[in-house]
Amino acid sequence: MSWVLIANPAAGGGRGRRLGEAAQTALRQAGVACNLRLTEAPGHATQLARQAVAEGCERLVVCGGDGTIRDVLPALAHTAIPLGLLPFGTANDLARALGVPRKLDQAVQLLLRGRPSAIDLGRAGEALFATVAAFGFDAQVSEAMRQGQVPLSGTAGYLYATLGHLFRFQAPQVRLEGEFGVFEGQVLLVATANTRSYGGGMQIAPAADPRDGKLEVCIVRQVPRRTIVGVLPRLFWGGHVHHPAVQVRRTSWLRLHTEIPHLLHADGEPLAHTPVLIETLPAAIQVVCAPGA
């Protein structure tokens, strides 16, 4: 078999190169012809993935996090080439949804023995995403983390940035249209979810399933800051969905309109600006998943 392994050297706190090399060695010892390619800049994985597809690789493996995975989606979507995951990034929410272990030896064994399964992708405008498209407060928090304004990473960094942004966030007025009808009002956030979690395991949409052809839309209306502090811990197990300020809707498409452009984030990276049409692409990519995930 001919595989291409794309590794982000910055993933895992700078361990990406070492982990990528270790994975390549393990795969070669198992009889897989594996070519390791390291990303050199943001977005470089897209170029490497397109090159691998053009060369006829049989499987493309990403050693990194959700951001690196998102970069390879344009090359793999609607092809028969399976995506394999070695989840060593900051959040790893796609791997979490698909039951991919974070230990290197276990993840390599899943690559060797697991079977590809079709999952949905999301699309916002022309941009693809795999996990959750975030708008509003959480998009601002994610952007602060991406720009290095937060001294911590992962869930701890998200919580740190959340507290730092509480007193300067201005809730935008939005109009949402989908199969559920219309919603208008000021919101804290709108999370359009293909998978259950983002931010390293926060269960923003506990019922989201990347195989059902639908998106779970979590709408949190504007609430007092003290309420945000009280609701935030519930994200870790999905308990926030029972709060009266929260509603969750299912749809295959969502039109998100604001009077002035606002940024959306997904998979740890900027995705698009409002107004935007977000839609699901059913069974758009093959991914090696854990059995029963």
Please, what are the averages of pLDDT over each run of 10 residues along the chain (293 residues)?
Answer: 91 85 96 96 94 96 94 97 94 94 96 96 97 91 76 70 78 97 96 93 94 97 86 86 95 97 92 97 97 82
**CA 128/CA 260 separation, integer angstroms:** 23
**CA 123/CA 70 separation, integer angstroms:** 11
What are the tokens at 201?
A: 């395991």
- Tell whether domain 2-114 is in CATH 3.40.50.10330: yes
The pLDDT assigned to 36 comes to 97
The pLDDT assigned to 155 comes to 66
The pLDDT assigned to 75 comes to 98
Spell out the residues 6+ positions from residue 17 whose beta carbon is closer than 8 angstroms to its own: 7, 9, 38
What is the pairing mode between strands 253-257 and 173-178?
antiparallel
- Cβ atoms of 268 and 67 within 8 Å: the answer is yes
3-state secondary structure of 186: strand
Taking each helix axis as running N to C, give the angle between helix 16-29 and helix 104-113, from 0 to 180 degrees, rounded to the nearest 10: 40
Q: 166: buried, middle or exposed (CB in 10 Å: 19+, 13-18, 0-12)?
A: middle
What are the tokens at 204?
A: 């923003």
What is the pairing mode between strands 59-64 and 83-87?
parallel
What are the tokens at 262?
A: 């606002």
3-state percent helix, strand, coil for the chain, nearest multiple of 5: 30, 35, 35
Question: Annotated catalytic sites, by residue?
Answer: 269
Dihedral angle of Cα 70, 220, 232, 252, to the nearest 10 degrees: -30
Q: Where are the beta strands (DSSP E) in the chain?
A: 2-7, 33-38, 59-64, 83-87, 116-124, 127-129, 132-136, 173-178, 181-193, 215-221, 246-251, 253-257, 263-266, 269-273, 276-288
Helices (H), 136-192: 137-146, 154-165
Q: 257: buried, middle or exposed (CB in 10 Å: 19+, 13-18, 0-12)?
A: middle
Taking each helix axis as running N to C, give the angle between helix 137-146 and helix 154-165, from 0 to 180 degrees, rounded to the nearest 10: 120
Buried b (16+ CB within 10 A) or exposed e, 56-89: ebebbbbbbbbbbbbbbbebbeeeebbbbbbbbb
Class of domain 128-283: mainly beta
**Peptide bond preceding 275 in cis form (omega within 30 of 0):** yes
In the chain, where the domains are located:
2-114, 128-283
